[in-house]
Structure 1
Amino acid sequence: MAVTTDIVQAWWRPKTVIARHLQRPKSEPFALSLLVAFLLLAFVSLWPALSRQAVLQPEVPMVQRLVAAGLALLASIPFWYLLAALSRWTAEIFGGQGSYYSARMALFSALLAVAPGLLLQGLVAGMIGPGRQFDLVVILVGLGFLWIWISMLVEAERGDAG
């Protein structure tokens, strides 16, 4: 299935999406591609806020801001792998039967599923700026991510899926 279909479906049936991914043969390149797609969309979501900052503080050029944001996102890759391992260890304490691969797939799929929310968050940050509206969008996107990720992780830790 197309990744765009998975993104939409993950908001309504995250367990179905992760179960479908885990039925495929294990593929680290596929898992990494989900993370890279998320990082690319996260990078795009930063553009409006960075543009706003470049207008308000012109002494730092937009290109410099974009390069710094891109490098920071690339540097976050080990963090996401560590977070997936931590979630696997935590699930194991609670009796999870999954694998490190299934924990990575759950996290990376959840991150990609929440990417449209990040794009909205970026638009609000760039167009409206800091304030209650931005805080509300951040909270909603964060809660959406947690719900999708935990739902996917629970399914991934069943053991027969991954």
Structure 2
Amino acid sequence: MPVTTDIAATYKGPRAVFRRLLAMDQNEGRALALVMAACVVVFVGQWPRLAREAHLNEQELNPLLGGALLGWVFIMPLVLYALAFVSHLLQRGFGGQGDGYTSRLALFWAFLAASPLMLLNGLIAGFVGPGPGLKLVGVIWIVIFLWFWLSNLREAGWGTS
């Protein structure tokens, strides 16, 4: 299935979509592509907020975009790899059956599947600004991301199926 169709299907049943991803052969290139795509989507979602910030503070937009690019596209994938490693260690410590690849895939797919909400977050931050709407979308993103991630980890062997 196309990635966009899988993302939409994840909101209906994250475990079924992740089960399909696990059925594919283990390919670290696929995992890297997922985390990079998610980080690029989040980076693009930051543009409206950064444009608003640059306008309100009367500063140049390009340095803000460059910093966001560095943070989201170059540094955040490394942070997510480290988080997936810690997740794998915790999984093994509690008797989980998954391997390192499935732990990475669980985190990366959850992050990519929840990334459309980061686009919405960026739009609200850019056009509305700080306030209860922005906080609400942020909380919804966190809840959805954790739901996807924990469902994926469970499917990957964290607990019982």
Give the equivalent residue in structure 2 for 1:20: 20
- Does residue 66 in structure 1 map to residue 65 in structure 2? yes
Root-mean-square deviation over aligned CA pairs:
1.4
CA distance in 2, matches of 1:92, 1:10: 25
CA distance in 1, matches of 2:12, 2:99: 24
CA distance in 2, matches of 1:93, 1:5: 34
Q: Is the 8 A contact 2:114 2:145 kept in 1?
A: yes
CA distance in 2, matches of 1:119, 1:31: 21
Q: Is the 8 A contact 1:121 1:137 kept in 2?
A: yes
CA distance in 2, matches of 1:76, 1:115: 14
How many aligned residue pairs are there?
159
Instruction: Give 1:113's aligned amino acid.
Output: A
Give the equivalent residue in structure 1 for 2:39: 39
CA distance in 2, matches of 1:98, 1:158: 7
Structure 2, unpaired ranges of 5+: none
CA distance in 2, matches of 1:53, 1:119: 17
- 1:76-155 alignment, distance < 5 Å: 76-155=76-155
CA distance in 2, matches of 1:140, 1:77: 22
CA distance in 2, matches of 1:39, 1:152: 19
Match of 1:76, SS state, is helix
CA distance in 2, matches of 1:129, 1:94: 42
Q: Is the 8 A contact 2:91 2:158 kept in 1?
A: no
CA distance in 2, matches of 1:24, 1:158: 19
Structure 1, unpaired ranges of 5+: none
- Runs ≥4 in structure 1, deviation > 4 angstroms? none
TM-score (structure 1 length as normaliser)? 0.94
CA distance in 2, matches of 1:26, 1:133: 40
CA distance in 1, matches of 2:75, 2:105: 19
Instruction: Give 1:78's aligned amino acid.
Output: L
Instruction: Give the superposition deviation at 1:94.
Output: 2.1
